[in-house]
Amino acid sequence: MSEPKNPTVSSSLEKPEDKEGLSRRDFFNEIAAGALGVAGLGAFVVSVRYLSPNVLFEPPTNFRIGPPSDYQVNSVTYLANQEVYIVRTSDGLFAQSAICTHLGCITQWKPELEMIACPCHGSKFRKDGSVEHGPAPRPLQHFAVRMMPDGELMVDLLELVKPTQILKV
């Protein structure tokens, strides 16, 4: 056997599969692994998607709350079904969530203390939803209130607004 002319030829003679780059077996193994990977990823994505329901039987996110005259000036009204407070001040009217921003308990309006209090961990909020006493990290969420053409008010829970946004009525 003659001496190899250069080292690359020598190594390719020792390993025949290197000469063609990739053996048939390796090629099919890689194709199979790739196909399994793609199928596995697809199955994972589809499974996660399956876990997320498309139709929810939850209360509607926008609802009518009647005309402004239903709410007296300087009053806080709790709507139990929607878990919101309708607060009317001399400036106007706004809707804010009754769900505590700490861990999601339902707060209660205490008229004698002029305060919204959470029974779970003792958070206290002022009438406008700002935090007076922790552990709540954020003020109560305010929702958009609109006047409908027929004079009734409509609250949209999906439209979050700043606490300064008050509907003049």
Partner 1 sequence: MTSWENTIERLRRTPVWQSLFRRGPARTNRTRSVAVFGNIFLHLLPVKVRDASLRVRATYYLGSITFFLFVILTVTGVLLMLYYHPAVPEAYQDMKDLRFVVSSGVFLRNLHRLAAQAMVVFVFWHMFHVFYRGGYKPPRQFNWVVGVGLLLLTLFLSYTGYLLPWDQLAFWAITVGTNIISYVPILGQPMRFLLLGGHGIGENALLRFYVLHIVILPLFAIILIAVHFWRVQKDGGITLREEHGRKEKD
Residues making contact with partner 1 (CB under 8 A): 48, 51-53, 56-58, 102-105, 120
Pick 1 or 56: Cβ nearer partner 1: 56
Least Cβ distance, residue 77 to partner 1 (angstroms):
22
Torsion over CA: 66, 69, 73, 77 (sign): negative
Shortest gap between Cβ of 166 and partner 1 (angstroms)?
A: 26
Q: Give the shortest CB-53-to-partner 1 separation in angstroms.
A: 5
Nearer residue to partner 1 within complex by CB, 57 or 72: 57
68 or 129: CB nearest partner 1:
129
- State the CB neighbour count (10 A cutoff) for residue 157: 18
Q: How far apart are CB 107 and partner 1 at their closest, in Å? A: 13
Complex with partner 1: residue 105 or 154, whichever CB lies closer: 105
The gap between the terminal CA atoms of the chain, to the nearest Å, is: 103
Q: Where are the beta strands (DSSP E) in 3-152?
A: 62-66, 75-79, 84-88, 93-97, 108-110, 115-117, 124-125, 131-133, 142-147
Query: Per the structure block, which two tokens stand in for 168?
Result: 């003049």
In the complex, the smallest distance separating the C-beta of residue 70 from partner 1, rounded to whole angstroms, is 26
- Residue (1 or 48) nearer to partner 1, CB: 48
Q: Are 97 and 83 in contact (CB under 8 A)?
A: yes
Is the separation of the CB atoms in 128 and 134 below 8 Å?
A: no
